[in-house]
């Protein structure tokens, strides 16, 4: 049942706390200890807090939730002699709006967490706290985190049987959007232990994602040069999940430390070409990444940056004007399937073959967007610039009709601009300094675009 703490202290003057307070774990620990139901001098004690998954809005009034984030609370139960971690998804509302949001929740669907209450309103902090396994947009998540219920949901042919001992781990959690889980089926009667992975979503995209993995799985069995994927095991509409076996290999960024790094860039380029030419379809309703889409995004990011730091207005205006002036050539290119979230962390290497991950964001767009995103993330991972150039050359050689140097330069500038505001949105420590350095990097990309391709 949702509960409101009866003894939450009021803030001085009834004002809202500064948003920076919520991402400060040391400052939030005593506040949550004092205000959460069941926590106090006797009972549950918070011994530590880890803050992650922060997303901050720059909207002045439109967004009712200017900040959301997760707290991993290290909890000790002094009465029952147990301890553990309780993850809470925190939504910071504008003053006076959290109470109404709590009132719209169907509390009968909530599940008792390991520690505390499933849903708590802290009015003095304008804070609504969802304790995992509860999530406002993934009501099926509790079933996936319950070993007995998850065992029933596992797909046929995965090797699990009724009565098996099942371990559940939450590997990654993006509140209101997705979660990745690992299930360990214990060894039994000569059968070895086996790991099964599930990725679950707030919507019904699991079927399309399973089809994409199935396509590349079949291709990898026929073509020894094709990229690999983890074996797809099935999908489930009821739990909005896609299931896979363990993947093989080493993360690409680790493999790039070897002397074979340039050859690996060639394999990455070949994998991207195969993806772009696969003929697969994006999920219904996925917004195409057309040039009008990106110009609208440029305007939105410019406004966002101007609100974050008004003194940047002249610089962001110049960036936006240059991108608009150079949009004619990219706008002439036909759209095709792209990965939509292409970066080195989405790839592993196994016996010289690229292993692909994360087919969530497939959409229609310019393949140069994928290439630009990958090159930029290589640089941010402090990889040698020569590797990015090797990737571009290999892609141009493998798919000359899809390659376009001017479109690539334009998308590199677009992607650089996107990176500027993300430091603020995700509230990374030292975000103000990082924002300045990333804006300077975006201006460098803009200069390169102007010098190599005059409007």
DSSP class of 60: S
In 78-220, the DSSP E strands lie at 82-92, 119-122, 127-131, 166-174, 178-185, 194-201
CATH fold for the domain made of 250-452: Aminoglycoside 3'-phosphotransferase; Chain: A, domain 2 (3.90.1200)
Helix (H, G, I), strand (E, B) or coil at 259: coil
> For the chain, which residues make up each domain, given as ranges?
3-131, 141-245, 250-452
Could you tell me how many residues make up the chain? 455
The DSSP element (H or E) to which 47 belongs, if any, is strand 44-56
**Do the Cβ atoms of 231 and 243 come closer than 8 Å?**
no
User: How many CB atoms are located within 10 Å of the residue 109 CB?
Assistant: 10
Query: For the chain, how are helix, strand and coil distributed in percent, rounded to 5?
Result: 40, 20, 35
The string of DSSP letters for 404-450 reads -HHHHHHHHHHHHHHHHHHHHHTT-TTHHHHHHHHHHHHHHHHHHHH
Cα torsion angle, 11, 17, 22, 26, sign: negative
In the chain, the largest separation of any two C-alpha atoms, in whole Å, equals: 71
User: How many CB atoms are located within 10 Å of the residue 193 CB?
Assistant: 11
380-384 CB contacts, 8 Å cutoff, 24+ apart? 380/419, 381/253, 381/344, 383/253, 383/256, 383/344
The DSSP element (H or E) to which 52 belongs, if any, is strand 44-56
The values of phi and psi at residue 349, to 5°, are -130, 130
The model's pLDDT over 260-284, given as tens digits with 9 standing for 90+, comes to 999 999 999 999 999 999 999 898 8
Residue 211 to residues 41, 107, 272, 273, Cα–Cα distance (Å)? 53, 35, 18, 19
| Pairing label, strands 250-251, 353-356 | unpaired
Q: Please return the burial class of 121, using the count of CB atoms within 10 Å of its CB with bins 0-12, 13-18 and 19+.
A: buried
Q: Please return the burial class of 319, using the count of CB atoms within 10 Å of its CB with bins 0-12, 13-18 and 19+.
A: buried
The values of phi and psi at residue 45, to 5°, are -125, 135
Placement of tokens 């396509």 in the chain: 215
List, in order, residues 6 or more apart from 114 with CB less than 8 Å away: 75, 84, 86
The pLDDT profile of the chain, 455 residues, written as one tens digit per residue, is 444 444 334 444 456 899 999 999 999 999 999 999 999 877 899 999 999 999 999 876 778 999 999 999 999 998 898 999 999 999 999 999 999 999 999 999 999 999 999 999 999 999 999 999 999 999 999 999 999 999 998 988 787 888 889 999 999 999 999 999 999 999 887 788 999 999 999 999 999 999 999 999 999 999 998 999 999 999 999 999 999 999 999 999 999 999 999 999 999 999 999 999 999 989 888 899 999 999 999 999 999 999 999 999 999 999 999 999 999 999 999 999 999 999 999 999 999 999 999 999 999 999 999 999 999 999 999 999 999 999 999 999 999 999 999 999 999 999 999 999 998 999 888 898 999 999 999 999 999 999 877 65
DSSP class of 289: B
| Pairing label, strands 3-4, 119-122 | parallel
Instruction: Look up the pTM and report it.
Output: 0.91
Which candidate, 358, 360, 376, places its Cα nearest to that of 368?
A: 376
């Amino acid at each position: 049942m949702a509960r409101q703490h009866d003894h939450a202290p009021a803030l001085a003057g009834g004002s809202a706390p500064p948003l920076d307070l919520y991402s400060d774990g040391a400052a939030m620990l005593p506040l949550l200890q004092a205000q959460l139901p069941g926590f106090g001098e006797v009972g549950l004690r918070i011994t530590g807090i880890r803050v992650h998954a922060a997303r901050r809005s720059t909207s002045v009034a439109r967004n009712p939730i200017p900040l959301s984030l997760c707290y991993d609370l290290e909890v000790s139960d002094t009465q029952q002699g147990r301890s553990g971690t309780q993850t809470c998804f925190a939504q910071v509302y504008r003053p006076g709006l959290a109470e109404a949001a709590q009132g719209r929740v169907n509390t009968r669907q909530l599940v008792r967490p390991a520690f505390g209450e499933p849903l708590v309103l802290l009015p003095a902090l304008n804070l609504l706290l969802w304790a995992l396994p509860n999530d406002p947009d993934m009501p099926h998540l509790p079933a996936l985190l319950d070993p007995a219920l998850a065992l029933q949901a596992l797909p046929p042919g995965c090797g699990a049987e009724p009565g098996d001992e099942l371990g559940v781990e939450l590997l990654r959690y993006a509140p209101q959007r997705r979660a990745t889980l690992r299930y360990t089926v214990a060894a039994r009667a000569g059968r070895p232990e086996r790991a099964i992975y599930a990725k679950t979503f707030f919507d019904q995209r699991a079927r399309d994602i399973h089809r994409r993995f199935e396509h590349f799985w079949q291709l990898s069995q026929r073509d020894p040069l094709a990229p690999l994927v983890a074996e797809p095991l099935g999908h489930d509409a009821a739990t909005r999940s896609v299931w896979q076996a363990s993947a093989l290999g080493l993360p690409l960024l680790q493999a790039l430390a070897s002397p074979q790094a340039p050859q690996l860039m060639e394999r990455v380029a070949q994998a991207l070409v195969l993806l772009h030419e696969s003929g697969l379809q994006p999920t219904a309703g996925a917004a195409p990444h057309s040039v009008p889409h990106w110009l609208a995004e440029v305007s939105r990011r410019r406004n966002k940056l101007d609100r974050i730091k008004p003194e940047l207005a002249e610089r962001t205006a110049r960036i936006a004007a240059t991108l608009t002036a150079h949009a004619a050539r990219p706008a002439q290119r036909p759209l095709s399937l792209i990965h939509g979230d292409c970066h080195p962390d989405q790839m592993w290497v196994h016996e010289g073959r690229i292993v692909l991950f994360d087919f969530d964001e497939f959409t229609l767009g310019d393949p140069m967007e994928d290439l630009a995103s990958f090159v930029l993330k290589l640089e941010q991972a402090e990889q040698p610039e020569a590797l990015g150039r090797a990737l571009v050359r290999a892609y141009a050689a493998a798919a000359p009709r899809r390659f376009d140097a001017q479109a690539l330069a334009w998308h590199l500038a677009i992607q650089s601009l996107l990176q500027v505001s993300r430091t603020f949105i995700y509230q990374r420590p030292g975000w103000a300094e990082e924002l300045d350095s990333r804006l300077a990097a975006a201006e460098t990309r803009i200069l390169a675009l102007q010098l190599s391709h005059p409007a």
